[in-house]
Amino acid sequence: MIFALDEELDKLNIDEENGLDPLEDVSSIESDFSNFPQEQLQQQQQQQQYIQPLTSDHLNISSSINSMRNRRRSSVLDKFSILSPMHTRRVSVHHHNNEDLVKPELKRPEGVSEESAIDDDDEEGIVTDTNSKKISDFKPIRVLGKGAYGKVILVKDQESSKLYAMKTLKKAEILINESNVINLNIERTFAERTILSQLEHPNIVKLFYSFHDQNKLYLILQYVPGGELFYHLKEYGTLSEDIVSYYAAEISCALKFLHDKGIVYRDLKPENCLLNERGHLILTDFGLSKKAVDENDPNNEGGDSNEESIYTLHSIIGTPEYCAPEILQGLPYNKNCDWYSLGCLLFDMLIGKPPYTGNNHKIILNKIQKDKQGPKIPFYLSEGMKDMLNWLLKKDKTKRWDVDKYWKEEKVTTNGNGNKGKPKKAGKQRELKFQSHFIFRKINWELMESGDLQRTEMGPIVPMITDWELAENFDEEFTSMSYEDDYAIDIPKSNNNNNNSNLDGTITGSNGTDDIFKGFSFKASRSYLERHF
Ligand SMILES: Nc1ncnc2c1ncn2[C@@H]1O[C@H](COP(=O)(O)OP(=O)(O)OP(=O)(O)O)[C@@H](O)[C@H]1O
């Protein structure tokens, strides 16, 4: 369901309902933490190298909040019936009869070849649709989660006994939709496989294989056994500032990495943040991510006019409670929207709900617009945290912290006069370097950015795992589900009965989907597989 928000979310406005207002307006807080003594920071960092593993003191148990926390899925394209501003890709809201359905011209997204791999330096890196893995290579164990187009199942490689998370997507669900959404669905499906096949980052889920058969598409992903951050938030209610700062740093590293590659993530929310066995945060679900054209790239010769620039994306997409206001308004946006979503996620972790909630995007947008001074932030948060939230949650994107630009202090910090370069605020844009912010005083950015920290240290919440196959950190709502429907091995129908299927599962024929999913299969290079297992 698209932008379908649980009505229960409104009930989370417990403070308003009870006449209590623990929130204060801190929009005027623009304190500059650049003056925090650096030596003291470094000393602190050395002493307390990383944040200590979780103790009960770290957790602000809030049963009233956690009992009401509701899952917000699925985040797909919004169907804007009322708002239809300029630059908005309009998506129809009414249902068609089959006869009325105008079959769109289906096309594989630009840039997706029939063969692909992470490296081409070893021959295993290149696969075609016919020699990739197949469903029968994996034994299903249990369901881990459920998305818009299928389930995510914990599977075991029959040959190696390694565990993976297998994301299944039903072709019919992708294709049987309102006609003008189909191409966007296909684009979304390919985007996830293409983007993930090109990434390698310690805080981003790894894709090892992808393939398809007659009815489904499969992504064989790294199994992240610690479950969703959502699951842990549901358990604990809210988290301490130390823990939140740690996750903020890990998510920021992943977002910055994506942005540097021209990718906007667009779907940051606790359901898409998983914890690995060491308690580090792993971003998953790249179905809404977009690799956009860099207008400044001299190699970009204009290209397809349908391509959206990284500087100006228009699709209305995401989960409204974590969406930047410009997206909700249907205005052009850029990678800066991910930093607003980070603000919403931090707010949620600290307070128990995102800054604005409501039954639909319009209610949320109204609330954002009504709140001239920005969201109300509780008085009990530290000044540093208030400052961070305030700068990320600026509704005017031109005033929002441009984290990509002001990411970190360059190595040489002296200006022409030999004075130490001092971060400053100029006009309305914040020029303080993100990594130097007070809330990150305990983070060793160098280790984190290199991935060494994730390899050698535990994160702040180390999930309880007695047996990886039990998937103990996943909601029973999912683990108790049947996987029969999503795992069924398709027996391709023979070619001479006009049923449009080939032995490799690709569809050919006159059903309008000719070869549309061809090129979906992928196998990571041998070196990549060896590095991660
Ligand atoms: N690599 C993984 N390891 C463990 N669990 C996973 C993994 N990937 C996904 N999951 C689980 O499955 C759930 C659904 O996965 P995902 O968000 O990728 O599906 P989706 O179809 O894109 O969902 P949505 O429709 O909500 O966007 C996740 O929230 C998570 O609980």
Please tell me the distance from the alpha carbon of residue 357 to that of residue 337, in angstroms, as a whole number. 18
**Per-residue model confidence (pLDDT) at position 251:** 98
Residues of the chain with pLDDT below 50 are: 1-63, 76-104, 111-128, 301-307, 413-421, 426, 494-512, 514
Say what the pLDDT of residue 294 is.
57
What was the pLDDT predicted at 319? 84
Ligand 1 centroid to Cα of residue 11, in Å, is 26
pLDDT above 90 covers a percentage of the chain that reads: 44
CA distance 332 to 313: 5
CB atoms within 10 A of CB 512: 13
Percentages of the chain per state (helix, strand, coil), in multiples of 5: 30, 15, 55
CB proximity list for 3: less than 8 A, separation 6 or greater: 75, 76, 78, 79, 319, 320, 360, 361
What is the distance in A from the centroid of ligand 1 to the CA of 432? 35
The pair of three-digit structure tokens given for residue 432, joined into one six-digit string: 């303080």
DSSP letters of 121-133?
SSGGG-B-TTSS-
Identify the residue whose C-alpha is closest to ligand 1 atom 21.
147
Distance of CA 283 to the CA centre of its chain: 5
The one catalytic residue among 129, 267, 285, 402 = 267
Q: What is the mean pLDDT of the chain?
A: 74
Residues 64 and 345: their CA atoms lie apart, in Å, by: 19
pLDDT, tens only, 160-187: 999 999 999 988 888 876 566 677 778 8
Residue 319's identity, in one-letter code, is: T
Q: What is the pLDDT of residue 184?
A: 74
pLDDT tens, 338-397? Answer: 999 999 999 999 999 999 998 888 899 899 988 988 899 999 999 999 999 999 999 999
- For residue 72, the CA-to-ligand 1 centroid distance in Å is 12
CA 123 to centroid of ligand 1, rounded, Å: 30
| Ligand 1 pocket by Cβ (under 6 Å) | 73-75, 144-145, 147-149, 152, 165, 167, 205, 221-224, 228, 271-272, 274, 284-285, 287
- Cβ atoms of 354 and 364 closer than 8 Å: no
267 labelled catalytic: yes
For residue 247, the model assigns a pLDDT of 98
